[in-house]
Amino acid sequence: MYSLAKLLIQDSSLKLAVASVYSGKKLKSKEINGITYFLIPSQGKNTKYCTKMEEFWQEVKEKYSPDIIHIHGSEFAHGLAYIRACSSKNVIISIQGLVSIYQRYYYTGITNSKIIRHITFRDIVLRDNIFQQRLKMKKRGALEQEYIKSVDHVIGRTSWDKTHSLAINPIVKYHFCNETLRSEFYLHKWSFENCENFSIFISQAVYPIKGLHQVLKALPAILKKYPNTKLYVGGDDFVSVHSLKDRIRRNGYAKYLLKLMNNLNIRDKVVFTGLLNEKEMCSRYLKSHVFVCPSSIENSPNSLGEAQLLGVPCIASYVGGVPDMIENGRTGLLYRFEEIEMLSKAVCDIFNDSDLAQSLSLNGQMAAFKRHSTLENKKTMISIYNAVIK
């Protein structure tokens, strides 16, 4: 969103305002670097009817008089409050993920009995075990369906999100526009000579949907052939327990992951990177021998796009909109999410063949630069705005 905002304000014919919620009590506005910002008091992410928020939206509309209202994402009720207060005229929704579909796959690869065995004190107190997390996602999915049914226009970028958007609202106008990614990832290029051999990187893993448990299951077979393999996981170490406080805070998924690592005798092979900023994340990609996107469901993951922009050899599960981003064997390797043996083989194939790694790198980068072209995506977005206005 920030990358798109920077592109839009370069056009002198456009003025941009960004509205978001915050925890205060008064409506605030301020102009920063050519963008007008509105902060709207929040009444809770999932409050379906936000009467006071609707009044604030009316005030924002009166102050700014927008020609286009572009809502990014569809799982929380803030944008619905705008639609109720100000109508859906000239409102367009960008599909990010579709949680109404995501919830089906929330803990794929983990049995119900394992989830029950690993429920923690924190899960009980907060009523937030894996089953309950899926239920919350399902409830947000009901909001999402109301969003898509209530508007005339949506923006998507994969055959998967188009299919599901039209299934929810058969008469909605679907517009195609690819994502523009963070600027740092357009500036660098991966090379086999400079990477850490036999290193695997996955960018995030806090939720079951991101599939870390499947990578852990695949790791022993990789280690048999390449015992120096290291798995780097983006983000803080949320699984280890160093104190009573850590034990109390740990959720069921983290407990399950640690048990899985210990049972497979691979704990020393898994490294959590800590939280990384844009440049640090870019550096971590460039050091990696292979990037894996092992999610149980995705639309078009930005992490995969970033890795391809840099030219990192990529492997991804064949789910959701991911096949629109990878041509198997040419711009990356695909495998079925449940098939950990195929994941192991794909990693070993890249470790074993530098020519394959460099071919995937070059082809993946060429495809990504075309898909994530800042100039083309800006032109497309503005043309969509004009089409909606007309």
Q: What is the pLDDT of residues 134-152, one digit of tens each?
A: 999 999 999 999 999 999 9
As given in the structure block, the two tokens for residue 113 are 């009995």
Amino acid at 259: K
The rounded distance, in Å, linking the Cα atoms of 9 and 17 is 10
The rounded distance, in Å, linking the Cα atoms of 167 and 8 is 31
- Which single residue is written with the structure tokens 């928020």? 53
Q: Decide the pairing of beta strands 28-32 and 35-41.
A: antiparallel
Q: What is the pLDDT along the chain (390 residues), one digit of tens a residue?
A: 888 999 999 888 899 999 999 988 899 999 999 999 999 998 655 555 567 889 999 999 999 999 999 999 888 888 999 999 999 999 999 999 999 999 999 999 999 999 999 999 999 999 999 999 999 999 999 999 999 999 999 999 999 999 999 999 999 999 999 999 999 999 999 999 999 999 999 999 999 999 999 999 999 999 999 999 999 999 999 999 999 998 999 999 999 999 999 999 999 999 999 999 999 999 999 999 999 999 999 999 999 999 999 999 999 999 999 999 999 999 999 999 999 999 999 999 999 999 999 999 999 999 999 999 999 999 999 999 999 998
- 102-133 per-residue burial string, b: 16 or more CB within 10 A, e: under 16: bbebbbbbbeeebbeebbbebbeeeebbbeeb
> For residue 384, which of 191, 178, 183 has the smallest C-alpha distance?
178
pLDDT value of residue 52: 81
Q: Give 108's contacts (C-beta < 8 A, 6+ positions apart).
A: 208, 296, 297, 337, 338
Ordered DSSP codes for 116-155 = HHT--HHHHHHT--HHHHHHHHHHHHHHHHHHHHH-SEEE
According to CATH, what is the number of the domain 2-180+373-389?
3.40.50.2000
pLDDT value of residue 48: 53
- Per CATH, the homologous superfamily of domain 183-371 is Glycogen Phosphorylase B; (3.40.50.2000)
What does pTM read for this prediction?
0.94
Condensed to tens digits (0 to 9), the pLDDT of residues 216-260 reads 999 999 999 999 999 999 999 999 999 999 899 999 999 999 999
As given in the structure block, the two tokens for residue 164 are 């599901």
Q: What angle do CA 83, 86, 89 make, to 5 degrees?
A: 75
CB 248 within 8 A of CB 269: no
pLDDT value of residue 371: 98
Residue 50: count of CB within 10 angstroms of its CB:
23
2-180+373-389 and 183-371 agree in CATH topology: yes
Instruction: Name the residue ranges covered by the structural domains of the chain.
Output: 2-180+373-389, 183-371
